[in-house]
Structure 1
Amino acid sequence: MTELDDLDRKILTELQRHADTPLDALGQVVGLSRNACWRRIKAMEAAGVIRARVALLDAAKVGLPLTVFMQIRAAAHDADWLAKFARATRAMPQIQGVYRMTGDLDYLICARVADMADYDRLYQTLIARVPMGDVSASFVMEEIKHSTELPLFEG
Structure 2
Amino acid sequence: MIEIDGIDAKLLRALARDANQSAGALGRRLGLSQPATWRRIRRLEETGVIRGRQLRLDAEKLGFGVTVFLGVKLALRGRVSLEDFERAVSAIPEVQTVEHVLGLYDYRLRVVARDLADFERVLRRRIMTLPGAGDVEANVLLSEERLPGPL
- Check whether TM > 0.5: yes
Higher percent of residues as helix: 1
- Aligned counterparts of 2:77 and 2:16: Cα–Cα separation in 1: 37
The CA deviation at 1:63 is: 1.3
Report the equivalent of 2:132: 131
* Pairing 1:111–2:124 present: no
Answer yes or no: is the 8 Å Cα contact 2:89–2:130 preserved in 1: no
The CA deviation at 1:50 is: 1.1
Report the equivalent of 1:51: 51
Q: Report % sequence identity.
A: 37
What is the TM-score of this pair, normalised by structure 1? 0.86
User: Alignment partner of 1:136: what SS?
Assistant: strand
What is the TM-score of this pair, normalised by structure 2? 0.88
Report the equivalent of 1:76: 76
- Aligned counterparts of 1:25 and 1:52: Cα–Cα separation in 2: 19
Q: Which amino acid aligns with 1:128?
A: T
Answer yes or no: is the 8 Å Cα contact 2:101–2:108 preserved in 1: yes
Q: Which runs of 5+ in 2 are unaligned?
A: none
- Count of equivalent residues: 150
Report the equivalent of 2:99: 99
**102-111 vs 77-86, which moves further:** 77-86
Q: Which amino acid aligns with 2:127?
A: L
Q: Which runs of 5+ in 1 are unaligned?
A: none
Q: Which amino acid aligns with 1:9?
A: A
Q: Which amino acid aligns with 2:61?
A: K
Answer yes or no: is the 8 Å Cα contact 2:65–2:112 preserved in 1: yes
Answer yes or no: is the 8 Å Cα contact 2:70–2:139 preserved in 1: yes
User: Alignment partner of 2:104: what SS?
Assistant: coil
- Aligned counterparts of 2:79 and 2:28: Cα–Cα separation in 1: 51
Q: RMSD of aligned C-alpha atoms?
A: 2.0
The CA deviation at 1:106 is: 2.0
- Which stretches of structure 1, 4 residues or more, deviate above 4 A after TM superposition? 77-80
The CA deviation at 1:14 is: 0.6
Report the equivalent of 1:87: 87
Q: Which amino acid aligns with 2:39?
A: R
The CA deviation at 1:52 is: 1.2
- Aligned counterparts of 2:69 and 2:88: Cα–Cα separation in 1: 17
Report the equivalent of 1:34: 34
- Aligned counterparts of 1:15 and 1:68: Cα–Cα separation in 2: 29
User: Alignment partner of 2:129: what SS?
Assistant: helix
**73-82 vs 114-123, which moves further:** 73-82
Q: Which amino acid aligns with 1:133?
A: G
Answer yes or no: is the 8 Å Cα contact 2:80–2:132 preserved in 1: no
Report the equivalent of 1:142: 143
